[in-house]
Amino acid sequence: MIGIRLADGGFHPLLGEDGPGLKRVTLTTVRNDQEEARIAIYRGTPGQPARRGALLAELALTDLPPENSGRADIELRLSLDEPGYLRAFARSPRSGDFKSLYLPPDRVWSAGVAPWTAGRSRRKGGSAHRGIAAAVFVVFGLLLLTALGYAVFRLFFGG
């Protein structure tokens, strides 16, 4: 599961491993007059300390306005897309500070691919196949133009 480290070191899951998803949460500060908030994003197991999981990234919001603990809101949005890319966006509405990140599947998942895509074969005509087909088409077109140019040259200039 994908989640965040809590102030007490616990792991709070936000996204599962069963497919794409989006989760929005509002976080708060834990100390009076806290000027910075660090949001550590982990791949972990519910009920286990966050440190037992894999740290994926950390977002740091700075210049938070002075407030009592629990009063400064921080908006966090995490999403996983179909191929397994993780996007994170954190923002302090009061200070205007925001941070975002985008992690590819090989940085998010231990197997290098999202669990819901593991074992799937690529669909015929996928982006890799289109790239190969385009390269073959270009090479074939260049060969055809070369042959046609040689034939025209021979027709007009003999040979």
Instruction: List the domain boundaries for the chain.
Output: 2-108, 122-159
Q: 43-47, 111-115, 120-124 — which is least confidently predicted? A: 120-124
Average of per-residue pLDDT across 90-112: 90
Structure tokens at 141: 């077109």
pLDDT for 76: 96
**Is residue 2 within 8 Å of residue 86, measured between CB atoms?**
yes
3-class DSSP string for the chain = CEEEECCCCEEEEEECCCCCEEEEEEEECCCCCCCCEEEEEEECCCCCEHHHCEEEEEEEECCCCCCCCCCCEEEEEEEECCCCCEEEEEECCCCCCEEEEEECHHHHCCCCCCCCCCCCCCCCCCHHHHHHHHHHHHHHHHHHHHHHHHHHHHHHHCC
CA separation for the pair 133, 121 (Å, rounded): 19
CB 4 within 8 A of CB 12: yes
Would you say residue 26 has pLDDT above 80? yes
For 2-108, CATH number?
2.60.34.10
The amino acid present at 83, given as its one-letter code, is P
Give tens-digit pLDDT for 121-158. 444 444 555 667 677 667 766 777 777 777 777 777 77
Look up residue 16 and give its two tokens: 């599962």
Give residue 95's pLDDT.
87
Residue 29 is which amino acid?
A: T
Q: Report the mean per-residue pLDDT for the chain.
A: 84
Q: How confident is the model at residue 4 (pLDDT cuts 50, 70, 90)?
A: very high
Q: What are 59-75's pLDDT values in tens digits?
A: 999 888 888 988 878 99
Q: What is the pLDDT of residue 147?
A: 72
- Rounded to whole angstroms, what are the CA distances from 20 to 1, 117, 132? 12, 10, 28
What percentage of the chain reaches a pLDDT higher than 90? 46
Mean pLDDT check: name the lowest of 30-34, 76-80, 124-128.
Answer: 124-128
pTM of the model: 0.71
Q: What is the mean pLDDT of residues 104-122?
A: 78
**What is the per-residue pLDDT for 113?**
83
